[in-house]
Structure 1
Amino acid sequence: MSERYEYVPHRLLGHRVRDIASGAEGELMAVINENVSDSVAHERWMELAYVRDESGREFTTTIHNIETISRMT
């Protein structure tokens, strides 16, 4: 089996984002390419976004569910 994870650079790291699926918002802390399979024979890799909300709790979602939040100035 290959490595279990790998950090991926992303243009939104450190920015406020929204998870489209849940509507939850927070700061994008990391994007990690993770092996999410439960089988040694059939690996399944997915880019997961790690987002930290206002309370400090982090949640994950697929990177494809992330959208940037426009800042009001």
Structure 2
Amino acid sequence: MSDRYEYVPHRLLRRQVRDIASGLEGELMAVINEDVSDSGHHHWMELAYIRGASGREFSTAVDNIEPSAPNEGG
């Protein structure tokens, strides 16, 4: 495959998620299978792109995301 990335469907797309590595929360915007290699050997990794409350996006390994807990109380 010559492309360096491809979009991957995910059950939490457009939902609120939490990055367990950083504790940050936001809306899951995309999951992308990216070639993250820096040499001739290809290394593919699924990355989750999350838009935080500030509007800035950050990425994390897709295995680090979980649904955000629903707001409790009234």
TM-score by length of 2: 0.91
Paired-residue identity, %: 69
Distance 2:43 2:2 in 1: 11
Matches within 5 A, 1:32-51: 32-40=32-40, 42-51=41-50
Distance 2:2 2:43 in 1: 11
Q: Does 1:28 align with 2:6?
A: no
Q: Which residue of 1 aligns with 2:59?
A: 60
Unpaired segments of 5 or more residues in structure 1? Answer: none
Aligned length: 72
After superposing on structure 2, the runs of 4+ consecutive aligned residues of structure 1 that deviate more than 4 Å are none
Q: CA RMSD in A?
A: 1.2
